[in-house]
Chain A
Amino acid sequence: MNKIETKNLNLYYGTFHALKGITMSVKANTVTALIGPSGCGKSTYLRLFNRMNDLIPGVKIEGDVLLDEKDIYNNKGMRIDELRKKVGMVFQKPNPFPKSIFENVAYGLRVNGMNHASFVEERVETSLKQAALWDEVKDKLKKSAFALSGGQQQRLCIARALAIEPSVLLMDEPASALDPISTAKIEDLIYELKNKYTIIIVTHNMQQAGRVSDKTAFFYLGDLIEYNDTNIIFTNPTDPNTQSYVTGRFG
């Protein structure tokens, strides 16, 4: 059974054709990397799954996007906030809220009506532990999230996404703004989280894609050029464009 699937999906920003007939499926509890040159549509594709593109005026979407085999766009029974509870997202730059560390993680619970104090406390603690941040912040939960380092902030954002127990985690270049040590921590984290979550990660870092992902999809100018097991993409791709991109010879 596919966790996530798109069928012949086209997306337009006004008249600009940003995604061209993408058909692709992702199995549960795997990590899928989206790679490709800047502007090829990786972020756009990622943002389909929690309907973040809806916020941009002039966006038009054709085709099907399925989560757990149910359409998430043309589906009266699917509320957008329910969808976003199931599909968490981590952004390129750490973007904590102007609140305390604790309230940052509790945010998703509170906005979804889960306000019971002991429940929230417990959930905050588990999420911070999952994000490997608990030991570093347990004594300063009331402090502002802005006081954390960049790497800590990004792990906080991951904890924040995990707190509402999504089943899918979307990550858009989650380590691109971080130093190598923080990056390594995030990569370890992704490896851990695979057991519980289905993860899709956009990255410009080929080594990173190779290290963390099971499958890799190569996008180019809005087309899905090639999608296969990660080791095949990196060692024996079929398309010459993929070949030159993963070996860093892309013009």
Chain B
Amino acid sequence: MSKNLKEKIAFWIFRILSLGVLLILFWILEFIFVRGWHMLSWDFLTKMPEDGMTKGGIYPAIIGTLYLVAGSMIVAFPLGVMAGIYIHEYTLDSFFKRFIKLMTNNLAGIPSIVFGLFGMALFVNTMKFGDSIIAGSLTLGLLALPVVIRVTEEALIAIDDSFRHGSYALGATKLQTVRKVILPMAMPNIITGLILSIGRVSGETAPILFTVAAYFLPKLPTSLFDQVMALPYHLYVISTSGTKVAESRDMAYGTALVLVLFVLILNLLANALRKYLGNKVKMN
């Protein structure tokens, strides 16, 4: 077999397999869109679940997820951005720096169910928050932390050193340089990363199983110490447990669609932002 024939065959195999990956995604999206589309309505988004969650809407789950996203970002965002700045902008002893990097990567690699265990042990049981928004937000925030740190670091790496030196040359201190020059420049990129980490947090189920998520709760939370329903957990519940799995199929399709749409929109938003920023940088 000639080497060019081999090349042809190899590249065709690659092409087919890549196409396969594309098809898998379209298959999943098609499945969710086609079956969930008819469920999507204003009532579905704004009504309480009815009849053992076989009818009605998913309002409390949407609200619950929004609370959790907001709560976890309040935890992860300031801490993560500060940590990212400190790691990148301040000269640290290189051993210490390596150690911190290692730990950040390790934190990112811990399975989400382990975060769930930890959240239950610390926030729910030891700190006695019980199953609550605050326990769930803290757990999810911890999970998002390494993502935010990494995004911040990457945004800072992208900024040319000349800006820093320019600022020092004008007599600015390190803190001033970071606050007035570096952060504003990095912020758009950080926000892009943040949007993506919101996507990640909003889909997590394992960490909230034992820290906040309620099976069925036909009212909205009134305090940080209330339980809430959440979209991913809701999907899990109505598609696997209970006696009415078959009757709640449509609800499950609708919930899955809402979840995927949420992630899809966040992805598009981040991409658009990236493109927009890319253009702006070029213009400068």
Contacts and interface: CB of A to CB of B under 8 A. Distances in A.
B128 to A, nearest CB: 57
B3 interface: yes
A111 B4 CA distance: 11
Contacts, number: 3
Interface in B51-101: none
Contacts of A81: 3
Interface residues of B, number: 1
A14 interface: no
Contacts of A111: 3
A251 interface: no
B110 to A, nearest CB: 34
A111 B3 CA distance: 8
A64 B3 CA distance: 28
A113 B3 CA distance: 8
A82 to B, nearest CB: 11
A131 B284 CA distance: 50
Nearest to A113: B3
Interface string B1-15: 001000000000000
Interface string A210-240: 0000000000000000000000000000000
Contacts of B3: 81, 111, 113
Nearest to A112: B3
A81 B4 CA distance: 10
Interface in B1-52: 3
A111 B7 CA distance: 12
B256 to A, nearest CB: 41
A81 B3 CA distance: 10
B86 to A, nearest CB: 37
A111 B2 CA distance: 11
Interface string B113-144: 00000000000000000000000000000000
Nearest to A111: B3
Nearest to B2: A113
B8 to A, nearest CB: 14
A113 B5 CA distance: 13
List 3 tightest A-B contacts by C-beta distance, closest first.
A113-B3, A111-B3, A81-B3
3 contacts: A81-B3, A111-B3, A113-B3
